[in-house]
Chain A
Amino acid sequence: MALPVSLRNSVTPPELELIASEQLVEIVPLIAMERTAFISGAYGPLRPPTKAKIPIWMAMNLKFKKKCHIVPPDWLNVEFLQERLIQETSRPEFSQLPFRFAEVAKLLLDVAQDDIQNPDKIRSLLKDIREARQAKSREGLQKIDHSELSLPNLCSMEINEIRPFFVRAMGVLTHITRDAATEARGFDGL
């Protein structure tokens, strides 16, 4: 078939990573390159050691070849994440994080570990944040009904994770409500 079964109802994490890696990241280039037109825009010029902004996929590519250092985004450090973790565990709502933080963090931690301070600590903080937020998502399920559920500050990867279950849950509720409504109309008619 045109689309494999696994892709019909959801998107996969690698696809989300592909989308996230269109975002820009700051790098310190180790090679020079003139300003170049790419399909997504023009980037450069790269002149070591002046910082430049390029898409994450490009930065990863250069990083693999040891041609740049990646400057982690403002939020990818121990202090920021520690503070978010405290918020996450002390307050009922989801704390504000970049929409694609999980994807970006994974990509950067995978290729640019040496450019990030304390990567292990960051990994464990991200894991704790993820767990705290997962618990909240599960609690959010109690509030689901057949018409609407607002999910402030939920992030792309988390949405993808809860999608199958939440969509089905809402589908079942829609069915129940619809059946109840038809039944009620049926009784009225009697």
Chain B
Amino acid sequence: MAGPSFVPRAHDIYPDDVPMAAPNFFDVPADESPLQQLIRHWMNERHSPDILPGQEDVLGGLLDHIRRQSNTVHLLRSDPDSSEEEHFRIMLAQTEIERVKFVVRSYIRTRLYKIEKYARYIANTPEVQERLSQAELNHAQTFANLTEDHFNISVLQALPEHQRGLDDQTPFTPPMIPEPDKSRAVFVHALDDCPPVRLPDGTTLRIQKGQIVLTPYAVVEQLLGIGSVELV
């Protein structure tokens, strides 16, 4: 039958005989599937205090895949005389769609949370803006303006002129524009042997593949950027 079906795609992500040789429990398959990539970026985003570069390509690819898979499921369901085997495939495909949707949603929500929290910092920092998608950037700017207007209308306009600022730098008080705390510690798992990084105490650290280290985010920021480490 030429109708819709779950045709295996070009090549398999997992060969049938995954080598079971050395008990290297950390071995990441050489080519991560898009879903695994998204899961990695999702966890990185959840653990990192800063906003990481948005993974629009991975996300877009997966959303397309979800759409295609949903269409297939929909068409197959409308077929009244499908076999029991087909029922199982439909059920499994639907379960997976929901699982992937969960990860996608949680990833986007995590970013949204940080964007709203640091909206004014983002609006003032072009370097961070580069890590956001256009939609996220628009949201950050609108959100920053909205809160600013709200503060002005509800309180600030009734205050004396010199107390109206929203970015005063008073010593010994927390800054008025919250910024990501890059000194917060994160658990890092090295995916590769990493180039040496400088620790806050002045020494250098060379993280080896497979190692797990607890260290301030600022130390591994660059390594995370090049994908040599993941946060766990």
Contact = CB atoms under 8 A, between A and B. Distances in A.
| Interface size bracket, A side | 35 or more
B18 interface: yes
A33 B113 contact: no
Contacts of A176: none
Contacts of A96: 23, 25
A152 interface: yes
A96 to B, nearest CB: 7
A33 B184 contact: no
Contact of B39 (A19, A61, A167): A19
Interface string A122-166: 000000000000000000000011111111111010010001001
Contacts of A146: 200-201, 216
Contacts of A154: 212
Contacts of A86: none
Contacts of B200: 146-147, 174, 177
Nearest to A148: B215
Interface of B: 6-9, 12-14, 16, 18, 20, 23, 25-26, 33-36, 39, 43, 46-47, 62, 65-66, 69, 84-85, 88-89, 91-93, 95-97, 99-100, 102-103, 106, 109-110, 112-113, 116, 183-187, 199-201, 203, 205, 211-216, 219, 232
Q: Which of A41, A145, A152, A153 gathers the greatest number of chain B CB atoms within 10 Å?
A: A41
Interface string A58-98: 10011001010000001000000000000000000000111
Given A2-B110, A40-B13, 8 more contacts: A19-B43, A33-B85, A35-B8, A40-B96, A41-B12, A58-B92, A151-B212, A151-B214
Contact of A39 (B26, B65, B183, B216): B65
Given A33-B85, A146-B200, A99 B99 contact: no
A111 interface: no
A28 interface: no
23 contacts: A2-B109, A2-B112, A2-B113, A3-B109, A8-B113, A11-B47, A32-B85, A36-B89, A37-B7, A38-B92, A39-B66, A41-B13, A42-B8, A62-B88, A67-B88, A147-B199, A147-B201, A147-B203, A147-B219, A150-B212, A151-B187, A154-B212, A170-B185
A141 to B, nearest CB: 11
Nearest to B65: A39
Contacts of B199: 147-148
A39 B98 CA distance: 11
B45 to A, nearest CB: 10
Contacts of B184: 167, 171
B232 A2 contact: no
A144 B112 CA distance: 33
Contact of A3 (B18, B112, B183): B112
A24 B14 contact: yes
B97 to A, nearest CB: 7
Interface string A19-51: 100101000000111111111111000000000
Contacts of B219: 147-148
A40 B214 contact: no
A18 B102 contact: yes
Contact of B211 (A99, A152, A156): A152
Given A2-B109, A39-B62, A40-B96, A159 B43 contact: no
Contacts of B100: 39-40
Nearest to B26: A99
A74 B20 CA distance: 10
Shortest Cβ-Cβ A-B pairs, 8 listed: A3-B113, A41-B13, A2-B112, A42-B8, A170-B185, A2-B113, A147-B199, A98-B25
A159 B80 CA distance: 49
